[in-house]
Amino acid sequence: MSILIDQQTRLIVQGITGRDGSFHALKMKTAGTNIVAGTSPGKKGTRIHGIPVYNSVHEAVRETGADTSIIFVPSAFAGDAMMEAADAGIKLIVCITEGIPTLDVIPAYNYIRKKGAKLIGPNSPGLISPGKSLVGILPGNIFLPGKTGIISRSGTLTYEIVYNLTLKGIGQSTAIGVGGDPVTGLYYKDLLELFEQDPDTDSIVLVGEIGGDAEEQAAKYIRDYISKPVVAFIAGKSAPPDKQMGHAGAIISSGSGTAKEKVEAFAAAGIPVAGVPSEVPEFIASRKNSYKHL
C-alpha cells in the first residue's frame, strides 16, 4: 500500500498551460500518474500532452471525477487556486508554488480545513508512491517501490537520502515533501499517523531542518504513538543564529530551533539521527533488524 496517493488517484493540474505546469504534467504522466484534467482560464477545449483542459476546477471535477489537484499557478494567484480546489470538492491539494505571501496562505489553509480537504505545501516538491503515482516535481527515476516512508522539509535532501536508500535496495512506500514555508498543510504528526496506520510501511525516515519546534514535537509523538522504527536526519548544524537558511521557515531565532536542540530531542526519544545522508540506509537496516527481535 501507500498513503495519500496510489493508482486510483485522479489528478488535476492547475496551471497546466504554463511552463512549469506543462513540463511537470508530462513528467507525472510518464511516471504513470492518472492525470484526468488540467485547468487554465480561457483555455477550455485545448489539450496538453493529450490531457483535456478546462476553465475551472469545478468544471474539471464535474466532468472527470478528479479527487486530487496539484497547483503550479503563480504565487499571486495560488491562494485563490487552493481555495478553488477545496471548494470544488478536491480532497488532496498539493501546492508546488513558492513565494506565496503568508497572509494569502493562512485563509486558504483555514478554508481547506473547513472543507475537510488535505493540503501538502505550499513550496513543496509534492509526493510520490513509487510505481503507483507521482504528484509533484520529484525525480521519479531515483525511487524504488518498498516499505520505508519518508517525510521531509527539504526537497534536495529527500532526493539525496532516497538515492542512498535505493542504492542499498531499500524501497519507499511514499515520500512526501511537506514544504518549507512558515505555514503549511499536513506536517510531521499528521503524516506519522498515516504511516503508522499503513500496513505496508514498516519504517520511517524523518528529514528535518533548523527553525521552529516541529521536529521536537515529532520526537515526542514518535516516542508516545509510533510503533515502527524511525530514523531522523537534521540539516543546518552549522547555521548561524538569526539567519534564514534556504526555506522561509528555516531560521533560528532567540536561541530556539537549532539543529542541536532537535538532535537532542530525537535522542531523548530513542530515535537515532544520521550524521550524513549516506548513513540513513545503514541506520534503517539496523533499526529494522532490532525491531524484528523484539
Assess whether 103 and 151 both reside in one domain.
no
Assess whether 242 and 185 both reside in one domain.
yes
**One of 49, 58, 247, 293 is an active-site residue; which one?**
247
Q: In degrees to the nearest 10, what's the CA dihedral of 15, 139, 154, 268?
A: 130
Give me the residues paired with residue 95 across strands: 71
Assess whether 116 and 143 both reside in one domain.
no
Does residue 39 contact residue 53 with C-beta atoms inside 8 Å? yes
Assess whether 151 and 20 both reside in one domain.
no
Assess whether 113 and 206 both reside in one domain.
no
Query: Is 247 a known active-site residue?
Result: yes
Give every CB contact of residue 26 below 8 A, 6+ residues apart in sequence: 49
Q: What is the pLDDT of residue 291?
A: 74
Range of the domain at 114: 11-120
The burial of 135, by beta-carbon neighbours within 10 Å (0-12 exposed, 13-18 middle, 19 or more buried), is given as: buried
Number of H helices, E strands in the chain: 9, 14
Report residue 187 as a C-alpha cell: 506536517
Phi and psi at 208, nearest 5°, equal: -115, 175
Q: 290 pLDDT exceeds 80?
A: no
Q: What is the pLDDT of residue 250?
A: 46
* β pairing state of 92-95 and 68-71: parallel
The burial of 290, by beta-carbon neighbours within 10 Å (0-12 exposed, 13-18 middle, 19 or more buried), is given as: exposed
Assess whether 179 and 284 both reside in one domain.
yes
Q: What is the pLDDT of residue 155?
A: 86
Total structural domains within the chain: 2
Confidence at 229, pLDDT banded by 50, 70, 90: very high
Average pLDDT, the chain: 93
Averaged over 99-121, what is the pLDDT? Answer: 97
CATH number of the domain within which 228 lies: 3.40.50.261
Assess whether 42 and 166 both reside in one domain.
no
Q: What is the pLDDT of residue 288?
A: 82
Assess whether 159 and 263 both reside in one domain.
yes
Three-state secondary-structure class, residue 139:
coil
* β pairing state of 126-129 and 133-136: antiparallel
Assess whether 267 and 168 both reside in one domain.
yes
Assess whether 167 and 217 both reside in one domain.
yes
Assess whether 179 and 260 both reside in one domain.
yes
Confidence at 53, pLDDT banded by 50, 70, 90: very high
Q: Which candidate, 29, 94, 89, places its Cα nearest to that of 62?
A: 89
Q: Hey, which bits of the chain come out as E strands?
A: 11-14, 35-39, 47-48, 51-54, 68-71, 92-95, 118-120, 126-129, 133-136, 145-152, 172-177, 203-209, 230-235, 273-274
Q: 254 pLDDT exceeds 80?
A: no
Q: 277 pLDDT exceeds 90?
A: yes
Rounded alpha-carbon distances, angstroms, from residue 27 to 32, 92, 167: 9, 20, 22
- Residue 20 CA to residue 96 CA, distance in Å, equals 10
Three-state secondary-structure class, residue 174:
strand
Three-state secondary-structure class, residue 232:
strand
Assess whether 155 and 253 both reside in one domain.
yes
Does residue 219 contact residue 244 with C-beta atoms inside 8 Å? no
Per-residue pLDDT tens digits for 72-96:
999 999 999 999 999 999 999 999 9
